[in-house]
Structure 1
């Protein structure tokens, strides 16, 4: 009767359905000397659990962490300082600013640059003209939805 009860408890234990009291019964049974021969394979498992219960953690747990200085940020700061130094050390001269003494010459240069911008803009807008055709095609797709609605009405009845 006891052996039958132990086998049922083992089956429940393998399915993960045992309570703590039932597990304690199994541990007591497998720690004893009288174990059925066909249940000997479970003895090391429960012996491990009993041995595991007596283990203790003996190392100290540090409550305060050391603050490590991150040296990577020093190199980032050094590169930033160098870049700023190069940027501000090469100041542009008066001739590099693009200013003109003669107003007529400045107007002519401005007109040339605006004409160039206009040509490039017109060239770009001419290549986008095909999008109107796409809009026409998508508007005709609306008719397909109407056809689908009518066919669904016809075939549902």
Structure 2
């Protein structure tokens, strides 16, 4: 009966559906000296797991303080961001001022052209007035 139970546990073990308690039963069975002949091939597997479980790393590791490059990277990123915002806004303001200057220049040129035409017409009106006065004065 125990052999049938071990066979079903092995099937569950290879399907990864065993519980921790069932795996402990398998480990104890394979560490025992009485293992069924058709299951002897799995003895090294469970012996390895038992030995690996008991292994400990005993060598002392020197711990070096870590340098925090992330902090300097974030400081550099913030500096670049502030630099970009400051000079970007300054550049944008300069472009807007140049655009406003060009638009004002166009408007004043248009106004000057129309004003020039208007003064020419006013000069004709002045001649008309002078002629009209001559006619009224002669009559």
Instruction: Give TM-score scaled by structure 2 length.
Output: 0.47
Larger relative contact order (CA 8 Å, sep ≥ 6): 2
Higher helix share: 2
TM-score of the superposed pair, with normalisation by structure 1: 0.43
